[in-house]
Amino acid sequence: MNQPKNVEYRQKVFNMILFFASEKGMKPLPNSEEGLLLNMTAAVAEYLGSDSEKIPTPGYLFLDSNWTRRINQEIDRALLQNNKLINPSLAEALGNLLRTEWKTDHGESWWESGVRYQLMFRQRGFHETFCLTVPEIQATRENLERLDADTVEHCRQIGTLMRKYIARDLSEATNQL
């Protein structure tokens, strides 16, 4: 499979998970890369039978300098241990979306994940949450019919699990105010 198809497939998987996490576009989602990344990582880890408690919450990233290494290890472990549960294309897409790495340039240092590239061209405001747009919801519904039922079901279950992590993090953010 060539690279553009991988990117397109990864985008469809990401959008499907957000679609189901937002209750088919009816509920808001975290408006930050770390919020989406960590909630999705925890949901994938739980879905694949790994320890979702090892995934930090967005509010506590500054307390854990090794968080990127830990979530990479946990996601790799979950995907390797359960490679029979999900198809290889979905495992690769999830691994690429959820992998984090530190980058440095001109003395600056920052982390990036595959989630960042999925968020780049979305219309999002300066609020704690955002909602999927009507065109995004419609495109995702169309993709539900085009993708294999197995992939759609895995994305549905991951998105459904992600809801509780989103609710937990939004609750923590509200309590910190």
**pLDDT value, residue 100:** 86
Amino acid letter, residue 35:
G
Mind listing the pLDDT tens digit for each residue in 43-78? 999 999 888 888 877 766 665 667 888 888 888 888
Mind listing the pLDDT tens digit for each residue in 113-170? 777 666 665 555 556 777 888 999 999 999 999 999 999 999 999 999 999 999 988 7
Q: What's the rounded Cα separation, in Å, for the pair 76 and 78?
A: 5
Indicate the range of 10-14, 80-84, 112-116, 124-128 predicted with least confidence. Answer: 124-128
Contacts of 60 by beta carbon, 8 Å cutoff, 6+ apart = none
Phi/psi region, residue 49 (left: phi>0; alpha: psi -120 to 50; beta: rest), is left
Q: What's the rounded Cα separation, in Å, for the pair 174 and 89?
A: 37
109: DSSP letter? E
